[in-house]
Amino acid sequence: MKNKLTKNWGLKVVSFLFAASVWLIVTNINDPLAPLRLSDVPVTIRNKELITERGQTCEVLDNTDVIDLVTIYAPRSVIDSLDKGNVVAIADLKDLTSVDTVPIKLSTNKYNEKVENIKGNIDSVKLNIENKQTRSFPLRVNVTGEIREGYMLGDVGTEQNLIRISGPESIVSQISRAQAEVDISSFTGNINTETDIRLYDSEENAIESASLEKSITRVRVNVEILEKKVLPVNYVIGGTPAEGYRLTGETQCSKSNVTIAGKSSLIQNINAIEIPEGVIDVTGAEEDVITLVDLNEYLPEGTVLAEEDFTGKINITVYVGQEIRRTFLVPKERIHITGVPAGFEAEILEDEESQSSITLIGLASELQEIDTASLEVDLDIAAWMEREEREEAESGYFHIPLSVQLPADSAVVWDAPEVFVRISEKE
């Protein structure tokens, strides 16, 4: 038996090797090795806390956390059942090198033991590791676009007014401001919208980096759009000037029309800015009164001034003049006697000068307009009797005041003397 097993030993070995070769050939023919090429395979970076726990950040450089090309060699039957989702690419920060790179380990989550070879066109993730910085910035709103004519911006604000940003010190230190942007073109009503927050450096360059962490990325912005309206300034003059002085009737306002703005529904019913009585007071004045008025105090509620560089302060000047007296003589023949009761007659009994003096009181400018030569001077018996409550006429000698007929619109007053009059019954 032993001889049979050892007999022709060389031939048996050759036969075995031949059979194995045939088996391998047949196997490769039926299920040969084949390559599978996959692009843009993401790399999972593990144990980032090893960096963050020491107050640092890591940023992937040159997009090395994505492998452009991964090639897998495996039997055709395996290759046909694999895709990019089966590739596992791991970069573990426990393996961080002194030059801040992390080797990439490739495998598959399916048939890994049957994969002959797997490799990528890059074999490590490059990192930028630096100290982490956190800063807070006030949120600003940048309004863009042209507002429609007849409207203006009101209050502009955000629901949150602060943003906290963390990231690599080299990037965070460049940030100068954080702002939200809103386009107001064609709007005539208030705007309430949510918008992205943008970061800028001191030279107005936008800063964008995936390594930055923001406490908020979007914010709600409220923009008030107000309608403009031009209104007159109305005011009331109170008080009385000092004795011997009076208002000339002239006033001057440094700004008689003012543009305001407010909600359309509000300002459509507003027709003037009213300065109340008591603000402009000429009591006891002996010269022009100039009053500084701040219109902001008298704007209708819900409105604002809408003129650039106008603070709302105006001057209102009330002109005050001193009264003067002008006396002229009226000959007896220029005095018209009227209102003589029926059956009676009246006669002025004058001294040898046969004339009376009448004094006009007013401003110089007013008296200049009075032509004393054409003034009518009357002696009205009926008016005198009514004032004296005399119901019946009687004969006698009486002192009766004269009256002067001034122009209807004149502010001048007169001080006329009494004349001695004889009233008698007609014969």
pLDDT tens-place string over residues 120-164: 999 999 999 999 999 999 999 988 888 888 888 888 888 889 999
pLDDT of amino acid 88: 95
Q: Tell me which of 108-122, 155-169, 341-355, 397-411 is least confident.
A: 341-355
Of 9 and 372, the structure prediction assigns the larger pLDDT to 372
What's the average model confidence in pLDDT over 290-294? Answer: 96
pLDDT of amino acid 352: 47
350 neighbors 401 (Cβ within 8 angstroms): no
The pTM of this model reads: 0.56
Of 416 and 39, the structure prediction assigns the larger pLDDT to 39
Q: How many other CB atoms are there within 10 angstroms of residue 362's CB atom? A: 22
What's the average model confidence in pLDDT over 270-297? Answer: 94
C-alpha 316/C-alpha 275 separation (Å) is: 11
Burial per residue of 95-117, b for 16 or more beta-carbon CB atoms within 10 angstroms, e otherwise: ebeeeebbebebebeebeeebee
Cα angle 392, 398, 402 (rounded to 5 degrees) comes to 100
Question: Using 50, 70 and 90 to split pLDDT, how confident is the model at 290?
Answer: very high
Q: Does 356 score more than 50 pLDDT?
A: yes
Give every CB contact of residue 308 below 8 A, 6+ residues apart in sequence: none
pLDDT in tens, 95-128: 999 999 999 999 999 999 999 999 999 999 999 9
Cα angle 319, 324, 327 (rounded to 5 degrees) comes to 150
